Structure 1
Amino acid sequence: MLYSRLPVEERAAAAARDGYSYVETWWPFEQSAPASEQIDRFCSSLRRAGVRLAALNLDAGDPRAGERGLLTDPGHDHRVQANLNSAVEILSDTKCTVLNALYGNRLRGHDERDQDRLALRRLAEIADRVAGMGVTVVVETLNSIDSPRFPLTDIADTAALVTAAITRSRHGNIGLLLDTYHLRMMDVDPVIAIDKYGPLIRHVQFADAPGRGRPGTGRIDFDGVTRALTEIGYTGFIGLEYDPSVPAPGTDIGWTPSPQG
């Protein structure tokens, strides 16, 4: 999100110039299964920039069209598998250890229970596929304002899904992605969510709310959030997934994100 106006292969270098040693990305290609040459160029851009990939999203469809993932769609078996094959290439090359599997929207004409069963099966299968690489698959709670057809807008439901997927998988390498912006937009205090679901949290993303700007442009207490993460012993990455075009207010909380992510 911070460098979305640049071509994909220039973003890592831009992040490095700004002092970052680690980066994360949404699925960086238009195709679910790009050619190996495209994957090689993407991974090479990270090496040239001297940055490490900390987290990668699976293909979630077209977010501009309201798409929010593929796991719930019964018509996408081949696409899900082909995308996973491509993601495995990237994970292997970059040694990235966090893979974000976006759940998917409710689809008209499909039984919600069937969608949930399909998503659970796919989630466990994806986790089992990447477990030997030391990769954890994470699942994210979104908000119903930005994503009105997305079913996982209550972190309790997401935690229940993750727990079920851990039980179904062979290796248990599944966890929560906690995003402060989405929680706050659902009137959930991120500090309370961290305290309650800490054992399941495997990745964290920061953006303020409202507006999804950088920390300090909204009303989230990031000092409290970072204290809560410290108290639960969280040692993973914090991704900065905010819109850099959101203007800063006259005053902010005085919290400055570390270039280390």
Structure 2
Amino acid sequence: MLTATVANCSILYPGLPWWDAPAAAARDGYPAVEFWWPFAGPVASDVEIRRLGEALHDSDVELVAINTFAGDLTAGERGILSHPHRVSEVRENAESVARIDSELGSTLHNVLYGERLANVSAATQDDTAAENLAYLRSAIGVPLLEPLSGTRPDYPIRTAEQAVAVLDRVGIETGLLADLYHLAANDQDIPATLRAHAGRIAHVQIADWPGRHQPGTGRIPIAAHLELLEALGYSGLVAHEFSPLP
């Protein structure tokens, strides 16, 4: 049966600086980790990349995924992929991500689409996202798109169908990130979604709903969904991406 072998350091260990999180993941028995973009801006410095590498090496854990730069998450930003005035940041960030891939071994990269801008047409934003995603496909490992939940009504990728439509426009076959928490929070029929898009899924993240805490604290039958994924042929990674309750 599929099991979660990846720790999302950015949400599991919020009280630790990012460079201490791999050691915490190792103590909790995870052989691999992933991060939201942990650095302040789109470009990671030599010192930051070296420090991340040392933290992974000292903890003997593998870095399998790292998000691309998504703007200021604390201020409510949810990505910059579709924002025409931030194309240079996407390209600069891609250079850092490619270097992390080369030096530290990561291959999967969740790319947040970006909330709708009031002063730019949706068509222009979608064109920008497609152009940036095509660029990222050639510059970094595997760019991923996930349906995102939350209170912001201006985030346009809410369903697996919407994410797949963007991937289809760019010609990316396997790039769907199936986050069971977000699918449940957006009232998606999870078994039907998994059956419809199993061949497109490149990564899986789990948290229970409601609450976004560990499995067993909410109403999602996570074990059953993972069994279905395995039966459908998914053999990739599963990550714990939840806010842990004591």
Give the shorter-chain TM-score range: over 0.9
Contact 1:127 1:174 in 2 (8 A): no
Which ranges in structure 2 are unaligned for 5 or more consecutive residues? 1-10
Aligned-partner SS, 1:59: coil
How large is the Cα RMSD of the aligned pairs? 1.3
* Residue in structure 1 matched with residue 7 of structure 2 by the alignment: none
Q: CA deviation at 1:173?
A: 6.3
Quote the residue 1:142 is aligned against.
148
Shift in Å at residue 139 of structure 1? 0.5
Amino acid corresponding to residue 20 of structure 1 in structure 2: Y
Task: Tell me the residue number matched to 2:208.
Answer: 208
Structure-to-structure mapping, 1:1-261, within 5 angstroms: 1-130=11-140, 135-143=141-149, 145-166=150-171, 172=172, 174-245=174-245
Task: Give the superposition deviation at 1:189.
Answer: 2.6
For the 8 Å contact 1:137–1:174, the answer to whether it is kept is: no
Residues in 2 aligned to 1:19 and 1:126: alpha-carbon distance in whole angstroms: 32
Paired with 1:147 and 1:42, the residues of 2 have a C-alpha distance of 32
Q: Sequence identity of aligned pairs in percent?
A: 37
Shift, 1:174, TM fit: 4.7
Checking the alignment, whether the CA contact within 8 Å between 2:174 and 2:201 is kept in structure 1 is no
Deviations 1:37-60 (A, max 9, x none): 111111211111000011110011
CA distance in 2, matches of 1:226, 1:92: 31
Query: How far does residue 34 in structure 1 lie from its aligned partner after superposition?
Result: 2.5
Structure 1 residue runs of 5 or longer lacking an equivalent are: 167-171, 248-261
1:136 Cα deviation from its structure 2 partner: 1.6
Asked if 2 retains the 8 angstrom alpha-carbon contact of 1:191 and 1:224, the reply is no
Given that residues 140 and 176 in structure 1 are in contact (C-alpha distance below 8 angstroms), is that contact kept between their aligned partners in structure 2? yes
TM-score (norm 1): 0.87
Higher relative contact order, structure no. (Cα contacts within 8 Å, ≥ 6 residues apart)? 2
- Contact 2:173–2:200 (CA<8 Å) still a contact in 1? no
Code of the residue aligned with 2:152 in structure 1: it is S
Give a deviation string over 1:93-119, Cα, whole Å, max 9, x none: 111111111111101110000000110
Distance 1:104 1:174, change over 3 A: farther
Is the 1:136–1:173 Cα contact (8 Å) retained in structure 2?
no
One-letter identity of the residue aligned with 1:205: Q
What one-letter code is carried by the residue in structure 1 that aligns with 2:224?
A: G
Q: 1:173 to 1:86 in 2, by over 3 A?
A: farther
Give the Å deviation of 1:187.
0.9
Find the residue that maps to 1:149 and give its secondary structure.
coil
> Following the alignment from structure 1 to structure 2, what is the Cα–Cα distance between the partners of residues 46 and 147?
34
For the residues of structure 2 that align with 1:38 and 1:55, how far apart are their CA atoms?
16
SS in 2 for 1:140: coil
- Paired residues in the alignment total 236
* C-alpha deviation, 1:31, in angstroms: 1.7
State the Cα distance separating 1:223 from its structure 2 match.
Answer: 2.0
Contact 2:67 2:109 in 1 (8 A): yes
C-alpha distance in 1 between matches for 2:173 and 2:101: 15
Partner Cα separation in structure 2 for residue 54 and residue 147 of structure 1: 29
